[in-house]
């Protein structure tokens, strides 16, 4: 007979792995998603740039206009990089850049929507001219409208 002693020991063993999976879009995805999204972003950016030009004419703070133009230029640069990536067949990079450009474009559109145009000061001259014209029209109507004759009973 053997006398054996049994003991329990606790031990923790763990393994940690880190890896990156890079999924590239298929040719079908490129044709049905990336290229149409690219075209939409180009058109949307053109619309935003037109809005920025219009805003600059309304007297918006020049600092805001400069910021808007800088962001639009960054978006334009990303869109140009997307075009180059699509031509090279680097669809993963193209997709990443498209997502970045779309996010920036949405933020820029929201910022443009929230900008306040400066209020014009009360124009006393305009109000005076309008009031004068109204008074003249009323006076002319008084002179030109025939008066009713009173009937004597």
What would the pLDDT profile of 39-67 be if each residue is shown by its tens digit?
Answer: 999 999 999 999 999 888 887 788 888 99
Going by C-alpha positions, the residue among 66, 71, 56 that lies closest to residue 108 is: 71
- Between 124 and 32, the more confident residue is 32
**Cα separation of 66 and 52, whole Å?**
9
Q: Please report, to the nearest 10 degrees, the dihedral formed by the alpha carbons of residues 127, 130, 136, 142 taken in order.
A: -100
Angstrom distance (rounded) from CA 107 to CA 113: 10
Predicted TM-score (pTM) of the model is 0.62
DSSP 123: -
**Residue ranges per domain, the chain?**
27-117
Please choose, from the candidates 65, 66, 46, 72, the residue with its C-alpha nearest in 3D space to the C-alpha of residue 118. Answer: 65
- Closest C-alpha to 115, from 55, 57, 46: 55
Q: Indicate if the pLDDT at residue 81 is higher than 70.
A: yes
Q: For the domain covering 27-117, report its CATH number.
A: 1.20.1270
- Report yes or no: 31 and 15 within 8 Å, Cβ to Cβ: no
Residue 138: pLDDT band (50, 70, 90) is: confident
The answer to whether the beta carbons of residues 79 and 101 sit under 8 Å apart is yes
Give residue for tokens 């990089």: 81
Print the SS3 string covering 81-95.
HHHHHHHHCCHHHHH
């Amino acid at each position: 007979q053997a006398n054996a002693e049994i003991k329990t020991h606790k031990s923790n063993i763990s393994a940690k792995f880190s890896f990156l999976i890079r999924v590239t879009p298929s040719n079908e995805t490129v044709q049905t998603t990336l290229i149409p999204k690219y075209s939409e972003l180009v058109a949307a950016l053109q619309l935003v740039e037109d809005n920025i030009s219009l805003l600059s004419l309304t007297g918006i703070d020049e600092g805001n206009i400069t910021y808007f133009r800088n962001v639009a230029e960054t978006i334009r640069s990303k869109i140009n990089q997307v075009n180059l990536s699509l031509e090279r067949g680097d669809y993963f990079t193209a997709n990443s850049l498209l997502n970045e450009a779309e996010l920036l474009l949405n933020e820029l559109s929201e910022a443009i929507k929230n900008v306040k145009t400066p209020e014009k000061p009360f124009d006393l001259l305009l109000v005076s001219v309008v009031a004068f014209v109204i008074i003249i029209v009323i006076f002319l109507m008084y002179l030109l409208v025939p008066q009713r004759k009173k009937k004597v009973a």
